[in-house]
Amino acid sequence: MGGDGHGDDRRRDDWRGDRIGSALRGTNPTVLRRLDAGFAVIGDVQFLPGYSVLLVDDPAVQRLSDLPRPRRSAFLSDMDRLGEAVERACARLDPAFRRVNLEILGNTDPFLHAHVWPRFAWEPAELAGRPVWLYPPERWRAARYALGPRHDALREAIREELDRLTAA
């Protein structure tokens, strides 16, 4: 194909502009597993290795209260399952793992989603007990923290734990 040479890169990254639609179409590369009310995905940034997100499976849903009560319960159950899977995987892979933080914020992205942040003993002391959003902007943008092939073992560990929890 001709053009400016960036067409393939843009198509490969189209999922970022439609995370839920691309998950539904099977083209979102961050999807770990389809759950009952959404998609477990690994985060684009991994300065806290194992960071994951639960995306609702309907892009029109903006708030938890937009869901009928049974779907609300399913979403919260999925959030719990993803949180436990991240906890188990991170504890297995890093002895400095301490806990997970679960957050439903909704201040930036217009669709319902929940953040699952693993926290570690090796975090800087001035940030360890504070919200992850206070990490410096460099952590959010630097290429060395971007999701990549070096996270494949972590992805697989979280998938395995999701599968174990689903089977239980």
pLDDT band at 15 (very low <50, low <70, confident <90, very high): confident
Distances (CA, A) of 163 to 63, 80, 81, 83, 156: 27, 14, 10, 13, 10
Q: Quote the pTM value.
A: 0.90
pLDDT in tens, 91-147: 999 999 999 999 999 888 889 999 999 999 999 999 999 999 999 999 999 999 999
d(CA 146, CA 162): 23
Give the torsion through C-alpha atoms of 142, 12, 90, 93, to 10 deg: -90
Query: Dihedral of the CA atoms 128, 54, 158, 116 (nearest 10)?
Result: 10
> What pLDDT does residue 13 have?
57
Tokens found for residue 47: 């300065």
Question: Is 70 exceeded by the pLDDT of residue 8?
Answer: no
CA atoms of 92 and 45, how far apart (whole Å): 20
Q: Give yes or no for residue 1 having a pLDDT over 70.
A: no
The per-residue pLDDT for range 40-84, each reduced to its tens digit, is: 999 999 999 999 999 999 999 999 999 999 999 999 999 999 999
What are the pLDDT digits (tens) for 16-45? 889 999 999 999 999 999 999 999 999 999
pLDDT value of residue 168: 85
Alpha carbon separation from 95 to 18, 46, 48, 145, 165 (Å, rounded) = 36, 17, 14, 20, 21
The domains found in the chain, sorted by start residue, are: 7-167 (3.30.428.10)
